[in-house]
Amino acid sequence: MSDTENGKTPGLSADEEQEVSHNQPPRAAVLHEIIRYQGDQELERTIAALWWSALAAGLSMGLSMMAMGLFYARLPEGDSSQVIASLGYSAGFLAVILARQQLFTENTLTAVLPVMTDPTLNNLGRLLRLWTVVLFGNLAGTILVSYVMLYLPIFDSKTDAAFLDIGHKVMENNLQQMFAKGIISGWMIATMVWMIPSMEHAKIWIILMITYLMALGDFTHIVVGSVEVSYLAWAGEVSWPAFWLDFAAPTLVGNIIGGSFIFALISHAQVRSDSGKPPSQLPALDKDKKPRQHPQR
């Protein structure tokens, strides 16, 4: 059958046809398998490795509040300052993701796909273990770094005041807003996780775009927000019960629903529907091999 009858562009050489093939974006099933493989690797890590990596991530997320506070302290007052200061929100995410540290809603999302692919009690137990260790490690790190930022003589009074303003802005949300904004935040992080494998060479720009929009929209995130609100708690501006009940609980539930349940479930269902069979019946990656990355353009 001729190229014209096939609907192909006539006159392409074999090398050019191969280039066309290489420049196609990976199928959803390929992305699903890459993320599932990464999640399986995370589930196999020891508790000690998860804890120290999660603690480091919590400390690193202090960079987001630090950068935003420094921006706000040096910008004129007004709504327009948020457009610039929101860039600082990305600092912590860049440090954590590029350093491959354990971040709740990022690494914990990838671990959901192995459970959806093979929903056994063993896999569910491994997922709950990962969630628990990473969450407590992240929160320990964020609470520690907020204490250091408040009590050590590091920043000037104007920057300290900016940190307090950032925390108060988070606490202006009621329970319903904390929950609803947490759903959007979790969904946005999940979108970022799904995008990165197909555009690995543009990872930094993807992280910047997604997290910058999160800051502009004032969406709540359990890890970044815990730096901001625990700073208020250490300063005596809010009580610790308010930190846990008014901020952490509704935000955490919203992040889990938006990221781990809604997005991961939809993505999993898409692959299952596209392939005509459950992902558990799709060819799996060799445990001793890394997933093949899609050729970069």
Buried b (16+ CB within 10 A) or exposed e, 282-293: eeeeeeeeebee
- What are the structure tokens assigned to 289, written together? 């091999």
Of the listed ranges 78-92, 173-187, 249-263, the least confidently predicted one is 249-263
Identify the pLDDT of residue 18: 62
Q: Which CATH class is domain 25-278?
A: mainly alpha
Does the pLDDT at position 22 exceed 80? no
What mean pLDDT do residues 157-176 have? Answer: 97
Report the share of the chain in percent with pLDDT over 90: 62
Of the listed ranges 5-14, 68-77, 129-138, the least confidently predicted one is 5-14
Residue 264 pLDDT class (50, 70, 90 cuts): low
pLDDT in tens, 71-122: 999 999 888 899 999 999 999 999 999 999 999 988 777 888 888 888 899 9
- Domain ranges, ordered by start, for the chain: 25-278
pLDDT in tens, 280-291: 444 444 444 444
Identify the pLDDT of residue 260: 76
> Global pTM?
0.83
- Which segments of 213-259 are extended strands (E)? none
